[in-house]
Amino acid sequence: MRKLENILVTGGAGFIGSNFIRYVFKNTGFKGKIINLDKLTYAGNAESLSDINSEFGDERYSFVHGDICDKDLVSRVFIDYNIDTVIHFAAESHVDRSIHGPAEFMNTNIIGTFTLLDAAKNFWNGRSDVLFHHISTDEVYGSLGDSGYFFETTPYDPRSPYSASKASSDHIVMAYNHTYGLPVTITNCSNNYGPYQFPEKLIPVIIFNIMDNKTLPVYGDGKNIRDWLFVDDHNSAVWAVVNNGRNGETYNVGGENEWENIKLVTALCEKMALIKGKDKNNFESLINYVKDRPGHDRRYAINCDKIKLELGWKQTVSFDQGLDLTIDWYLKNTQWISNIRSGEYKKWIEKNYGSR
Ligand code: NAD
Ligand code: DAU
């Protein structure tokens, strides 16, 4: 039986991590404590959890500002908070950035994961009522053609510095399970979307640029396909695995919701036009086909029968509902947006892409 009382969430100030912490406190009946360890890189925003801090701070929620590569700090966190569960989200997560500057991806995603695993092994010292859950991605499986799906048994074939660093960390997690008996689980998930997503990923980029009347950058021919999943459906999957997933197993998590990029961009133009009371052509005319991402994976599609059959998980938010909810959140949270945009993110975008 897993203890699940003092959970160390890494990267909890990022997009999925912050939604996950909110989801656990608000939707699961969890009675324990969450410790959020985050370096607050350009992608981390402590403001995304200000509501949780006010409601659960001190007693049941603590924020630790620090780097998962810092061995001494990580060991201290395990001891100070008597950690029995790790849910490891922290990563450099953006494929384009990994092409411009891979070093930080190798450091955080590989060395950071290793540092956490080693601290867990030393602190838990053979216990079996503990768990290290690692958040991974479908990108480790490579790229699909027009047909077929990624299964848990699909051989790894990562193609970007980001996915190679994630694949590497997955292997280290499994090595700690096989070699040292560390209790672990992994989830490999498809593209998430929802509130608090950093405006460098496709959906928020398009929403933001429509709001600002800027061009809508579509890479290559726009026919690459992604499988979109609402972030709280990912969160419920992670929670199901952390509670009931089998030790040493990988579970794929997907939206079963494939969209060509250009069709998704057009759908967002239509939704925004409806909200703003304008003709959709006003926004569709902003679409701008730009230079393709080097090594751009063509299609991702997840088969998630295993988690459905074994753990009874399923998606609950349709794409139509999820996009409406997401757009509504961005339209209402203009302060969060301008705070994000006045920081590091804006400087990086301007340096690498100009003011698009
Ligand atoms: P994100 O970029 O929004 O957030 C990452 C968080 O990690 C930030 O808060 C950042 O400050 C923190 N962080 C980065 N380096 C750190 C370090 N060295 N030490 C401590 N904290 C550090 O990422 P996200 O989109 O929320 O993704 C979270 C996880 O989910 C990642 O592991 C990613 O690979 C995985 N994933 C993401 C998606 C997706 O669609 N976003 C899909 C599948 C898997
Ligand atoms: O599949 C899971 C992965 O999904 C996660 O592991 C990554 O952390 C996450 O960033 C995401 O990776 P993608 O590269 O698929 O997401 P992104 O939003 O960057 O791009 C989605 C698609 O849209 C991709 O085909 C590239 C394209 N794109 C992206 C941007 C930012 C554009 O056409 N224009 C853009 O401006």
Percent of the chain, pLDDT > 70? 96
The Cα–Cα gap between 150 and 170 comes to 16
Whether ligand 1 lies within 6 angstroms of the CB of 200 is answered as no
The Cα–Cα gap between 66 and 63 comes to 9
**Comparison of pLDDT for 343 and 77, the residue scoring more:** 77
Whether ligand 1 lies within 6 angstroms of the CB of 124 is answered as no
Q: For the segment 183-238, what is each residue's pLDDT rounded down to a tens digit?
A: 999 999 999 999 999 999 999 999 999 999 999 999 999 999 999 999 999 999 99
- Cα(307) to centroid of ligand 2, in Å? 24
- Cα(343) to centroid of ligand 2, in Å? 21
In this predicted structure, the answer to whether residue 337 has a pLDDT above a threshold of 90 is no
Q: For the segment 28-60, what is each residue's pLDDT rounded down to a tens digit?
A: 999 999 999 999 999 999 889 999 999 999 899
Q: For the segment 282-336, what is each residue's pLDDT rounded down to a tens digit?
A: 999 999 999 999 999 999 999 999 999 999 999 999 999 999 999 999 999 988 8
* Closest ligand to residue 218's CA: 2
Whether ligand 1 lies within 6 angstroms of the CB of 68 is answered as yes
pLDDT-derived band at 354, boundaries 50, 70, 90:
low
Whether ligand 2 lies within 6 angstroms of the CB of 252 is answered as no
- Cα(95) to centroid of ligand 2, in Å? 7
* Closest ligand to residue 301's CA: 2
In the chain, the amino acid numbered 26 is K
Q: For the segment 115-160, what is each residue's pLDDT rounded down to a tens digit?
A: 999 999 999 999 999 999 999 999 999 999 999 999 999 999 999 9
Whether ligand 2 lies within 6 angstroms of the CB of 93 is answered as yes
In this predicted structure, the answer to whether residue 76 has a pLDDT above a threshold of 90 is yes
* Alpha-helix runs per DSSP H in the chain: 15-27, 50-56, 71-81, 95-100, 103-105, 113-124, 161-180, 202-211, 231-244, 261-276, 280-284, 305-311, 319-332, 334-341, 344-353
In the chain, the amino acid numbered 330 is Y
pLDDT of residue 346: 65
pLDDT-derived band at 341, boundaries 50, 70, 90:
confident
Please report, for the chain, the start and end positions of each structural domain, with discontinuous segments joined by +. Answer: 6-196+228-256+295-317
As a whole number, mean pLDDT of residues 270-278 equals: 96
Architecture of the 6-196+228-256+295-317 domain = 3-Layer(aba) Sandwich (3.40)
- Cα(92) to centroid of ligand 1, in Å? 6
Please name the residue whose Cα sits nearest to atom 14 of ligand 1: 91
* Alpha-helix runs per DSSP H in 82-135: 95-100, 103-105, 113-124
pLDDT of residue 58: 82
**Which residues are within 8 A (CB) of 118 and not within 5 positions of it... i.e. 6 or more apart?**
71
